[in-house]
Each structure stands twice: as C-alpha cells, then as structure tokens.
Amino acid sequence: MKKVIVGILVAAVWLAGVIGYAVVASGSNSSAHQFTVLTVKEDSVKDYNTMPVFQQLADETGIDVEWKYNTSAQYSNNTDPVGIKGIDAIYHSGFSNLKLYDYGRRGRIVAIDEYLDSMPNFSKILSERPDIKEALKSPDGHIYSLPRVEEMGLKAYPNILYINKAWVKKLIDEGNLPDGVNLSADDLKDGLDLSREEFKAILQKFNDLDMDDDGSTTNEVPLSFVSSNWQGNESDLIASFGVPENRDHKTIVDGKVIFTIEMENWFNAVRELADWYQRGLIRSASFTQQENDFLARGQDGRYGAFYWWEKDTVLSAEKRDDYIIVLPLKDNDGNRYVGVSNELEVEKGECVILDSCSDKAALLSYFDKFFEPEYSAQLNYGSIKSGAFLSEKVDGKLIPNDDHGVQSADDFRMKNAPYGVVYLTQEVWDTSVEMESRAKLRVGNLESYVKPYTYKGATTIPNLNYTQDELITLNTYESSLAKNIASWFTGCITGNIVPSTESWQNLLKTNRASIDTVLRINQAAYDRYIAAIGA
C-alpha cells in the first residue's frame, strides 16, 4: 500500500513537473510568438479572432495573433497610428506612398525587404513579378508594406451602362419611341446598340412620361450614377465624346501621361451634360449621393438607365430581368469609346510592421502565408469552414459557394471576409481557386460589351515609384488641383457655372502650374517604371 501511494506521489510529482514545464514552455513560446495587430474594421464584420481562417493560420504557424480594431472613422481621426502603444503591425493601414516613405525612412515601420529569408512566398512573387516589385518600392529602394494583389482584369473598366428594357418596350408598344429611334422588341437584349443622341431622346421620354404607370411623371429617374465614385461613375458617358476619361481625368495614351480636361472634347462633353441636366435627364442626386444611396434608390426599378459594374446589386431580384446592357454610346461619327480607370490591381499599403515589434521575422513569416492561394482565397471571400467554399475541391480548385440561404453573396462576404493581404492572379484562378460566378459574369460582360471599345492607346497609370522630392511636390499640388477640377465640373453641369469656353480656358489657366507639374512628375516616374520593368 505504502509503495502504491509513493508510486502515485511520484507520478503526481512527475506529472506536475511535466505540466509545469509545459506551461513554462508554452508561456515562453507565446511571448516570442504572440503578436497584437491593429486592423481597420467596421463593426458589421465578424471578429477576426474567431474566424476559422485565422485559427488555421495559428495552428499551422504556431504564431498567435490577437486582433484589435479601429473603425475607419476612428482610424482616420488618428494622425499617428504608428504611435499606438501595444501593437506590432497595422492591417489595412491604407498608407499613401508619402506616408510609407516618411515612416520607413525614420525607422518607425520595418523595411520588409530585409526579412525576405523568412518570407518564401513573398520572395517568389518579387522575383517573378518585377512590376509588383517596382510598384512596392519607396524612394530609397525599400519595401515598407505588404500588398493586396487581385488580378481579374476588371478594375480598369468600372462602368457598364444598363437600360430599363421594360420601359423601352413600353415606348415601343405604345408608339412613343422618339423620332429617329428605330427599335423593335427583338433588339432588347444585352449589347443594345444606341447612339448618344438616340439614348438622350429615350431618356427624355423616360423623364416626360409616366413609365411605371403610377399616375405620376415625376418619380422616374432617367439616368443615374455616382459621380466620381470608383465604379458606376459618369466617365464613360464623357468618353463617348472621344475622350479617354476616368474619374481622375488623368490617363496614359501611347505612353504619354495626359489630363483629359485639356481636350476640347472633354469641354464639349461637360457642356452637353449641362444640357442633359437642364432637361432633367440627370439629377443633382448623381452628384451628391454615395454608393449606398444609389443602390437603395435603384432597387424598385425606378432608374431608366444607370452605370454600375453589375446590375444585381442595384436591383431587387424581381427587377433584374427588366434591364439590359447598352454598348458604349456611339458618337455622331459612329465611333465608340471607353476610358480606363486608374484603380490598381496591386494595392500598396495593406499592412505595415512597426519597429516596436519584438520578433519581426516571425510576424512576417506569419503574414507570408497570406500569399498562398488557399489562405488568400479565404481572406478574400470568407473561411472554408464558414461555408465560403464548397467542402470538396474540384480538379484541385476551391469552388466558391454562392448559396448562403436568405443572405446575399455580397452580405456574406462583407461579414466573413477580412480582405487585405492576398495574392490572387490569373495563375491562381487557373489552378487553385475558381472565380466567383458573378466575377466571371463581369469578366464576360466586359470582354463582350466594353473592352473592345477602349480609347486607342489608353492605359492605366501603374503604381509609380516617386522620389522624395516628387512625393512632396505631388502632395502640394494634386489634392487642390483635383478639388478645383471637381468643383468646376460639377458646377457647370448642375447649373452653378456657365460652361463657356472662357470659363474652361480660365480653369486651365489658373491651374496651369499644377497641371504641368503633376504631368511632368508622373511622366518622369512612368518612364523610370517602364525602364525598370524592362517593358
């Protein structure tokens, strides 16, 4: 008996030792491999700390990250987020080129290129993609942030024109088509071919008649968009005048950086849109509303036509079939044009590591996993375990699950996907992750109805790598120039400024120094970029 008790005691002491050791081991482990990361997140998005994708990352890497949150409003109120105590990194930092460089050269954020030994995935990307490497460099040649790369070939073309087919059908049926417009019911399918003049005449009917038969002719919105928004803006309506327009009014044509506002056709477009506004075809709401207002107002099929990427988010389920895609509007010579946006598929300031981080290599080895297809997919769409993808792969590819019951695919994704640092390229779509069906639909629509009409020689301005002086100069000129253009543009269309040639010339004259300086710096940086990537 005594022996047994001694045995138990020995075992207990031994066990206590093991447990004690284990506690100490995991304790020291966690002090080395536990990090706190601040992320910018709205309350509607789920807690990252309980998301399965982050649990999977913790299991695989042995690195434990505790996520802390700022809403975007809180975050933007903080003028020095890098100074926040007790954090090792900032996710969704959104730092501009100038901010990255400023923090980087003062040693407050980490030069990530010095830790590539701990980052096999990121190293591979930099060696395979010189354009991405070039895009990420700061003026001193260092890389101070981790990027988001999502390549679908979509972002350069953020506007598709949709028209209310049911209303056009009603015009046909009731003999109310405008003079000179010849359409039959058979024409009313995706790819409707209209000149800008025909489109304008149809919008006039939408404005004048009671299209929805509710007894009022005042509640129809002939054409809607979200002015200067990144998608669904008025740029391609202006492009129809033969202008490579985008919301920055700045693009590259045949290797030359230009401002569209200097083109006579741009001024002609502004003058014509002022007329559309006077006639009630476009309304003041298009210049004041935000995305959410625009989407809410479109649900019941009140828009005669609108610009957006896809119609499903704009319309309630029962109204979607009422709308079809219109080809880019023909000008008087029968030509069609669309511009290319400067929305980039490589976004720079997604994540920065603070100098105060105690084990930079370990934290960067954790973030390096984000670039792997299976993690990138889950970060971008939601965790496999929460149902963002089907449980079985097909031909080695993750298959998105589009069915979330009563919840829309958009809603599900907004709540379940942290976004941020991802690497999703054509190779990934080909081999590892099936593109969402709505993304495939967008790609197909753009290929068929938009891209073939790109203004000749127009290309997106890539992520340019500026010198310190250039960054400071751009910072001085760019935002005031953008404000001046926007207020003149909106003022002319909405009737607060008379869109005379003199007024336009005066806009160019008063902003001449800014225009020339911005163009000169952009061109120099673009020329260096082309030389660096060997294009």
* Closer of 182 and 216 to Ca ion (Cβ): 216
Min separation Cβ 168 and Ca ion, Å = 16
Distance of CA 317 to the CA centre of its chain: 25
**Six-digit token string for 396:** 């080695």
Min separation Cβ 216 and Ca ion, Å = 4
Paired strand residues for 161 = 307, 326
Min separation Cβ 319 and Ca ion, Å = 15
- Sign for the pseudo-dihedral over CA of 70, 74, 76, 77: negative
Within 13 Å and on the Cβ side, how many CA atoms surround 198? 19
C-alpha 136/C-alpha 300 separation (Å) is 44
User: Of 424, 439, 421, 434, nearest to 373 (Cα)?
Assistant: 424
> Which residues, at least 6 apart from 106, have a Cβ–Cβ distance to it below 8 Å?
none
Min separation Cβ 303 and Ca ion, Å = 12
Min separation Cβ 207 and Ca ion, Å = 11
* Closer of 174 and 333 to Ca ion (Cβ): 174
What residue spans of 432-467 are helical by DSSP H? 437-449
Residue 224 gets the label, from left (phi > 0), alpha (psi -120 to 50) or beta, of: beta
Min separation Cβ 177 and Ca ion, Å = 19
* Closer of 48 and 323 to Ca ion (Cβ): 323
What residue spans of 346-401 are helical by DSSP H? 360-368, 373-381
Q: What is the b/e burial string over 347-371, where b = at least 16 CB atoms within 10 angstroms of the residue's CB?
A: bbbbbbbbebbebbebbbbbbbbbb
Q: What angle do CA 137, 139, 145 make, to 5 degrees?
A: 35
Interface of this chain with Ca ion, residues 12 to 41, rule: CB under 5 A:
none
How many residues line the site for Ca ion (CB under 5 A)?
Answer: 5
* Closer of 213 and 333 to Ca ion (Cβ): 213
Neighbouring C-beta atoms of residue 156, cutoff 10 Å: 21
> Which residues, at least 6 apart from 520, have a Cβ–Cβ distance to it below 8 Å?
none
* Closer of 64 and 212 to Ca ion (Cβ): 212
Distance of CA 405 to the CA centre of its chain: 26
Min separation Cβ 300 and Ca ion, Å = 11
* Closer of 207 and 289 to Ca ion (Cβ): 207
Min separation Cβ 296 and Ca ion, Å = 18
Interface of this chain with Ca ion, residues 205 to 264, rule: CB under 5 A:
210, 212, 214, 216, 219
Min separation Cβ 167 and Ca ion, Å = 10
Specify the DSSP class assigned to residue 436: P
Binding to Ca ion by CB under 5 A, coded x per residue (else -) over 177-216, reads ---------------------------------x-x-x-x
* Closer of 219 and 479 to Ca ion (Cβ): 219
Min separation Cβ 161 and Ca ion, Å = 22
* Closer of 212 and 374 to Ca ion (Cβ): 212
CA dist 9 → 3, 12, 19, 23 (Å):
10, 5, 15, 20
* Closer of 214 and 254 to Ca ion (Cβ): 214
* Closer of 100 and 315 to Ca ion (Cβ): 315
* Closer of 170 and 404 to Ca ion (Cβ): 170
CA dist 382 → 55, 67, 109, 152, 379 (Å):
13, 17, 29, 18, 6
Binding to Ca ion by CB under 5 A, coded x per residue (else -) over 475-514, reads ----------------------------------------
C-alpha 521/C-alpha 466 separation (Å) is 8
Min separation Cβ 308 and Ca ion, Å = 22
* Closer of 244 and 301 to Ca ion (Cβ): 301
What residue spans of 191-319 are helical by DSSP H? 196-208, 235-239, 264-278, 285-288, 291-298
Min separation Cβ 108 and Ca ion, Å = 58
Q: Which residues bind Ca ion (CB under 5 A)?
A: 210, 212, 214, 216, 219
